[in-house]
Amino acid sequence: MISYSNNYLKLIIFAAAVVLLGTSCRKESSRTTGWEYNNPKNGGFAVNTKWEGQAIGPGLVMVEGGTFTMGRVSDNPMYDWDNIPRRITIPSFYIDETEVANVDYVEYLYWLSRVFGTNYPEVYRKALPDTLVWREKLAYNEPLVETYFRHPAYRNYPVVGVSWLQANEYCMWRTDRVNEMLLIKEGILDFDPDQQDQNNFNTDAYLAGQYEGLVNKPLKDLNPSGTGERRARLEDGILSPKYRLPTEAEWEFAAVGLVGNTMYERVVERRQYPWNGTVVRSDEKKYYGQFLANFKRGRGDYMGVAGSLNDGADLPAEVASYWPNDYGLYNMAGNVAEWVLDVYRPLSFEDVADYAPFRGNVFTTKVTDEEGFLAPKDSLGRLQVREVTVEESKDRFNYRSANQINYVDGDYQSTINPDWTTPLADSVNTTNMMYEYGKTSLISDKSRVYKGGSWKDPAYYLSPAVRRYMNEDQATNYIGFRCAMGRVGSAYSGKK
């Protein structure tokens, strides 16, 4: 057996510590130029070398993406063929655990009133939900008109009476409030309760240098030619990606929840609902027979018989009611149907891409002046945007114009008319040449998809595959929404 003196052992330990310390303290440098990152002596190119992955935003749940068969799982009672099954792949993303509740939307309205109420009261009025959706010609629902949205009894109930356009505005507002709080938590900004009109925090305006705010402790600028201080940049990894409505494919993928129904890439059972089986009651011994969603069981039966209520809710229930699916998402079947991002077309399943499918793109760019600098933000504090032009896109392979809503379904190239010998002008909307809105169809460029069943629907509509649509500027008492957010970086939900 070899023995060492104490001094020799100390020397070995000291040498190992020096090596480890030198390795851990070594600064990263460029693999392509060899120049050290974050060093003001060589120009100060700043790189976040300690970024540990995207933080989950408030209220969100990560949905690990993958491939699945999107579309119909049962016969359509209306004999529509608008959701033919098709295999697609969904990138990982985030989605709200619950529907947006009344209290969430009231918070939004309070902020709008506080910031814009004095000089731009129309901003607040435009965001108000339509509480008159509760009125029925031959029913007495007048109390709901007054109480459902604002009474504390309904605080955690899903907001309804919100159009697709209003839901999108809420998502944009939420992005800015979350990012403002992230900058405050980092100590870069301080709380500013005096924001008003265009002087309010907007993520894009902040990144473009058009919003200052109450600066607390700015980041250190490593550029030797700079001022020594700087605002946060996208490269710092502090700011969150944008909240938005989920796409139709994302929503359906999240609702089906195959993550809990798969073994080694083998789908055990193709689900008709967000749970296994073909019934809407629990088969667990402890909860046997209890309803798994809030829906209309039959004509005139919204909640069952007194003393033995089935789903226990005549109207929408609280947003965290019933059992969540395998992603931990509540009410992906029933309660309220939900707006998604897509424009409705019956044949979207045949046309859209098989990776991250979506119909509704209208490509935009930020408005600049003659010298190429960004135009000043508007009166509401937002950067100005416009649609990209054909001239700007003429040399591209992936698109040639801004509006892709009608691509392959409604545009000139996909419309059969032997009398057309030359393409129409770009300004001509050809949708009505295929869908004569108000005459032969209710489909237009404003037709937006909504998914999931509601408290007002029979069990068929609880299937995530079912598609319905409504104009983007309309609202009902059975459609709400939840927000989503794209994931950056790894697709895995854990470290692998």
Q: What is the pLDDT of residue 167?
A: 98
CA distance 322 to 34: 57
Q: What is the pLDDT of residue 190?
A: 97
Q: What is the pLDDT of residue 262?
A: 81
Please state whether 269 falls in left (phi above 0), alpha (psi between -120 and 50) or beta: beta
Extract the residue ranges of the chain whose pLDDT is less than 50. 1-2, 18-24, 418, 420-421
Q: What is the pLDDT of residue 311?
A: 74
Q: What is the pLDDT of residue 7?
A: 61
Residue 417, helix vs strand vs coil: coil
Query: Model confidence over 258-292: pLDDT tens digits?
Result: 888 887 887 877 888 888 776 677 666 666 667 77
Task: Give the pair of three-digit tokens for residue 222.
Answer: 């490593």
> Please, which residues bridge with residue 437 across strands?
441
Pick the CATH number of 60-186+238-355+451-486 from 3.40.50.300, 3.90.1580.10, 3.30.530.20, 3.30.1950.10: 3.90.1580.10
Q: Residues 6 or more apart from 75 whose CB is under 8 A from it?
A: none
Q: What is the pLDDT of residue 418?
A: 45
Q: Where are the domains of the chain?
A: 60-186+238-355+451-486
In 3D, which of 306, 330, 254, 327 has the Cα closest to residue 484?
A: 254
Backbone angles phi, psi at 339, to 5 degrees: -65, 140
Question: Between helices 164-185 and 102-116, what is the axis angle to 10°?
Answer: 80
Q: What is the pLDDT of residue 14?
A: 56
Q: What is the pLDDT of residue 422?
A: 55
Q: What is the pLDDT of residue 438?
A: 79
